[in-house]
Amino acid sequence: MTPIQSSTDEITLSFRTLQRNGLMLHTGKSADYVNLSLKSGAVWLVINLGSGAFEALVEPVNGKFNDNTWHDVKVTRNLRQSSAREERFLALLQKPSLAKFACNEPRPQTGHAHSQD
């Protein structure tokens, strides 16, 4: 597999679950990868481009992300600048490499069904 070589990447996904732990996304291998998972109901991001891992654990203000409501996740990597944050929550983490991370509070329920159901 070819190493991740771009300077800017963006990953967006939506999820809904009752599971406290689980892998949502993994790409790459060995020491060159992006991993997005749930860990005890919080969203956990790990990015390693070969020079060490950037990790961010994002917890919502109220409850957990495994609340059976839809959540949107966006991960943006822009040439060695990083932060981890959640739209309405508790902290902003910064490290001089890798990613910007946002995970929202639950979406308002609408009458639309999602194909992921």
Q: Which distant-in-sequence residues (6+ apart) come within 8 Å of 111 by Cβ?
A: none
Q: How many domains does the chain have?
A: 1
Domain that holds residue 71: 8-103
Q: Is residue 77 part of a domain?
A: yes
What's the chain's Rg over C-alpha atoms?
Answer: 14
Task: Identify the sign of the CA torsion 6, 10, 16, 21.
Answer: positive
What is the pLDDT averaged over residues 89-112? 43
This prediction's pTM: 0.64
CATH number of the domain bearing residue 14: 2.60.120.200
φ/ψ region of 98 (left if φ > 0, alpha if ψ in -120 to 50, else beta) reads left
Q: In this structure, are residues 69 and 15 in contact, taking their beta carbons and an 8 Å threshold?
A: no
What are 44-86's pLDDT values in tens digits? Answer: 888 887 777 778 888 877 788 899 988 888 787 765 544 444 3
Tell me, yes or no, whether 78 lies in a domain. Answer: yes
Give the per-residue pLDDT at 54. 79
Inside any domain, residue 114: no
Residue 109: inside a domain, yes or no? no
